[in-house]
Amino acid sequence: MATNLRVFLLILFVAIFAKADDLPNGWEGAIKPEHVRPHVEFLASRDLAGRSGANSAKAADYLAKQFRDCKLQPLFADGSFDQPIPTSAEVDSSDESPRIVGRNVGAWLEGSDPKLRNELIVIGVHFDHLGTRGGKVFRGADDNASGTAMMLEVARQLAVAKQRPKRSIVFVGFDLEEQLLWGSRWFVAHPPFELDRVKLFITADMIGRSLGDLPLPTIFVMGSEHAPRMKLLLDDVGSPRGLEVARLGIDLIGVRSDYGPFWNEKIPFLFFSTGEHPDYHTPRDVPEKLDFDKIARVSSLVLKLVEATANADGAPEWTDEVQPNIDEVKAIHRITDLLLQAGEKKPLTDLQRLIVTQAQNKCQQILDRGTFTADDRKWLIRISQLLLLSVF
Ligand SMILES: [Zn+2]
């Protein structure tokens, strides 16, 4: 028994190792695990008690301090890093000072090009979480200390770079995402600049685990179908060694994070996530379970993509017309492959295996045929939703 296990582990190790070496355009990322880990460990510490209410303010203080240390400029009125957020409940009109329930934290880096610096790329991530419930601390390490660490390290790298990006870069930590995206909705309704200056919004929510807790090297990137230039830039940039980008349409999941209010305004956006897992929104979402290599790789990818977008001749533009793109079929086919491989280590249920196999066969048919129709895409959306639901 023990020998079999050892042989099995050896085969698995060889398979994983060979795979990592085979990856196309795998480059060395600038952001390392030791850069992102301290942010996650602080934000998801027991002391911060799940970053809600007064404890969310401690996280906000931490972000402001990081921005100040990087010598970034305050984003809001009167040289402040803070944007107070009033209650979303109906306030009595006689009440002249509505209750403040949270705050967004923001900073910016002015672009180097005299013309292009008027255009903005916004990286915004939520830093709040669910607090303490029934005596249990919901530490929110993946959701979303992971994305917050990414934003802070991208900000630091850009702030110290010898060559500033041509366009200006804005960094925002959103509060109250866990309360119907109230922080980002308030920000978009009360922006510190004209919204039409925003050429791209990037957010990341949960980038330190893996879909269904299966060992996948995957980062899902959604939204590029509404901004053709971002598809090209994603292709150009490639991915750091050990990370695979799966580009999917945002309609597969709908509004799940802070890109919602930007989507409403038809601002090009990208959403980065490694997907849901069984510890999602439980007290088990703790730093010990995170893959810090993965967070560092995703952070390095966002950094390169932001630099490429900020320095490109033209800015991303929104399109409503989403063409069926066969790359999406390739991405889902690859995910089914990975799920079936990972299933050898952590068995899938019969139903999961059936759905995954069906999805794979259909993707293979489409790829063999080489044409991807609107009807195919409708089917693909249904099966992917089923796939994602059954794996979560
Ligand atoms: Zn959440």
What burial class does residue 242 get, using C-beta atoms within 10 Å of its C-beta: 0-12 exposed, 13-18 middle, 19+ buried?
middle
Q: Does any domain span residue 373?
A: yes
- How far is ligand 1, taken at its centre, from the CA of residue 103, in Å? 17
In this predicted structure, what is the pLDDT of residue 12?
42
365 shares a domain with 293: no
Q: Does any domain span residue 104?
A: yes
In this predicted structure, what is the pLDDT of residue 43?
98
Q: Does any domain span residue 240?
A: yes
β-bridge pairing 168-174 and 218-222: unpaired
Confirm if 140 and 50 have CB atoms less than 8 A apart.
Answer: yes
358 shares a domain with 306: no
- How far is ligand 1, taken at its centre, from the CA of residue 253, in Å? 14
Q: Comparing 345 with 35, which gets the higher pLDDT?
A: 35
Q: Does any domain span residue 6?
A: no
Q: Comparing 283 with 18, which gets the higher pLDDT?
A: 283
**Into how many domains does the chain fold?**
2
- How far is ligand 1, taken at its centre, from the CA of residue 140, in Å? 8
Question: Of 352, 218, 346, which Cα lies nearest the Cα of 272?
Answer: 218
- How far is ligand 1, taken at its centre, from the CA of residue 50, in Å? 11
In this predicted structure, what is the pLDDT of residue 338?
87
341 shares a domain with 297: no
- The residue among 284, 311, 338 that closes a domain is 311
Q: How far apart are alpha carbons 51 and 291 in whole angstroms?
A: 21
In this predicted structure, what is the pLDDT of residue 19?
41
Question: Of 216, 195, 232, 233, which Cα lies nearest the Cα of 388?
Answer: 216
Q: Does any domain span residue 210?
A: yes
The size of the chain, in residues, is 392
244 shares a domain with 347: no
244 shares a domain with 128: yes
Question: Residue 366 — φ and ψ, nearest 5°?
Answer: -65, -45
In this predicted structure, what is the pLDDT of residue 60?
98
349 shares a domain with 289: no
Q: Comparing 91 with 378, which gets the higher pLDDT?
A: 378
Q: How far apart are alpha carbons 272 and 274 in whole angstroms?
A: 7
Question: Which of the four pLDDT bands, split at 50, 70 and 90, describes residue 7?
Answer: very low
Tens digits of residue pLDDT in 203-213: 999 999 998 88
Range 17-38 average pLDDT: 74
- How far is ligand 1, taken at its centre, from the CA of residue 177, in Å? 7
Sign of the CA dihedral with 164 first, then 167, 172, and 177 last: negative
Range 298-321 average pLDDT: 97
Q: What is the CATH number of the domain that holds 296?
A: 3.40.630.10
Q: Does any domain span residue 4?
A: no
Question: Of 357, 146, 122, 385, which Cα lies nearest the Cα of 250?
Answer: 385
In this predicted structure, what is the pLDDT of residue 16?
41
144 shares a domain with 263: yes
378 shares a domain with 334: yes
- How far is ligand 1, taken at its centre, from the CA of residue 118, in Å? 33
Q: Does any domain span residue 159?
A: yes
Prediction pTM value: 0.90
Q: How far apart are alpha carbons 336 and 327 in whole angstroms?
A: 14
190 shares a domain with 66: yes
Range 376-384 average pLDDT: 85
Residue 19 burial (CB count, 10 A): 14
Q: Does any domain span residue 321?
A: no
Average confidence score pLDDT of the chain: 90
CA distances to 51, 81, 82, 126, 193 from 172, in Å: 16, 9, 10, 8, 13
What burial class does residue 322 get, using C-beta atoms within 10 Å of its C-beta: 0-12 exposed, 13-18 middle, 19+ buried?
middle
Tens digits of residue pLDDT in 136-186: 999 999 999 999 999 999 999 999 999 999 999 999 999 999 999 999 999
Give yes or no for residue 306 having a pLDDT over 70.
yes
- How far is ligand 1, taken at its centre, from the CA of residue 129, in Å? 6
Q: How far apart are alpha carbons 123 and 131 in whole angstroms?
A: 24
Question: Which of the four pLDDT bands, split at 50, 70 and 90, describes residue 2?
Answer: very low
Question: Which of the four pLDDT bands, split at 50, 70 and 90, describes residue 121?
Answer: very high
Confirm if 170 and 106 have CB atoms less than 8 A apart.
Answer: yes
- The residue among 286, 311, 336 that closes a domain is 311
Q: Which domain holds residue 121?
A: 23-86+99-311
290 shares a domain with 171: yes
347 shares a domain with 301: no
CA distances to 115, 149, 223 from 243, in Å: 35, 18, 19
- How far is ligand 1, taken at its centre, from the CA of residue 143, in Å? 5
Range 97-108 average pLDDT: 92
- How far is ligand 1, taken at its centre, from the CA of residue 229, in Å? 30
Q: Position of tokens 């306030």?
A: 91
Question: Which of the four pLDDT bands, split at 50, 70 and 90, describes residue 11?
Answer: very low
Give yes or no for residue 323 having a pLDDT over 60.
yes
- How far is ligand 1, taken at its centre, from the CA of residue 26, in Å? 30
- The residue among 311, 335, 354 that closes a domain is 311
Confirm if 76 and 83 have CB atoms less than 8 A apart.
Answer: yes
Planar angle of CA 127, 132, 133, nearest 5 degrees? 130
β-bridge pairing 198-204 and 120-126: parallel
339 shares a domain with 300: no
Confirm if 171 and 107 have CB atoms less than 8 A apart.
Answer: yes
